Amino acid sequence: MRIIVLGSGAGGGFPQWNCNCPNCRGLRAGTLRATPRTQSSLAVSDGGGSWLLVNASPDLRAQIASCPPLQPARAVRDTAIAAVLIVDAQIDHATGLMTLREHRARLQVHCTPSVHSDLTTGYPLLRVLESYCGVDWHPIDAENEKPFAIEGLPGLELRPLPIPGEAPPYSPRRHAPAPDDTIGLTFVDRASGRRCFYAPGLAAFNDRIRTEARAADCVLLDGTLWQDDELQTRGASQKTGREMGHLAQSGRGGMVEELAALPGRKILIHINNPNPILDEDSPERRRLDTLGIEVAFDGMEISL
């Protein structure tokens, strides 16, 4: 199994176009040791020539351009993307679907019924795409944790898991999410049995999530905020992490404490631009280094 991090940032990327927080300002000025990031997305392969796109970032065009395996150029119009999987209906995970409208075949989209509902009503991307390439929807039964496969990737099994999160602002379930509004995924290599657990939006841990994370050889988990009131203290927003459906890294019961207890490889992804861990010289980043917790970057590759 091969995983490529196409985008490791949260909504807005890094630097965000209208943000002058110390991180964004420092990166633009060249005074901060940090790496630019596009918005959260993965490409996953079973080792063959086909790939699963996991989340369709608004930055998808640039991400495909920077990832040659997704553009094998076998024909005048070509792609190695066999299907798209959306873990939630948030704008930063779904908007890139519009970039794929020139696809020569119907787009194969995997998502839960709640996500499909939002992407055909409040944010009707899938309905719009019917006027272009067309869409075949493959429902994900996350509430029953039903494993499934992707056509064209026979060596890969996917196991969904409902996780605490938040429905998008345009959803009728905002602040009262359904169990399948946000899911985590375990990618399993059928040949080796090796596993990667992926959850870029995670509001809290529970015993079921801990069990899945401990069983994984690698985890890619929500790295949005260092502290719950980070956006408030930076003057960027009045929203807290919990209100947005994200568990902060610091503090008792935070993401760092949870990750430190895991036996496998530990990687933070979906990192918001004011988060101090983006500053590679910050004390927060040094703490992660000491604990063996990695920070995802665009182009990062994981082989399992």
User: Is residue 7 predicted with pLDDT exceeding 90?
Assistant: yes
According to DSSP, residue 9 is labeled B
State the sign of the Cα–Cα–Cα–Cα dihedral 191, 195, 201, 205.
positive
Q: Tell me, what's the pLDDT at 230?
A: 73
Q: Peptide bond preceding 15: is omega within 30 degrees of 0, i.e. cis?
A: yes
Q: Tell me, what's the pLDDT at 233?
A: 74
Q: What is the mean pLDDT of the chain?
A: 95
Say how many domains are in the chain: 1
Q: Considering the chain, what percentage of its residues have pLDDT values greater than 90? A: 91
The number of residues in the chain equals 304
> What CATH number does the domain containing 183 carry?
3.60.15.10
Give the mean model confidence (pLDDT) for residues 66-77: 94
d(CA 247, CA 304): 27
Contact between 275 and 226 (Cβ < 8 Å): yes
- Domain with 120 in it: 2-303
User: Is residue 239 predicted with pLDDT exceeding 90?
Assistant: no
> What does the pLDDT look like over 200-234, one tens digit per residue?
999 999 999 999 999 999 999 999 998 867 767 77
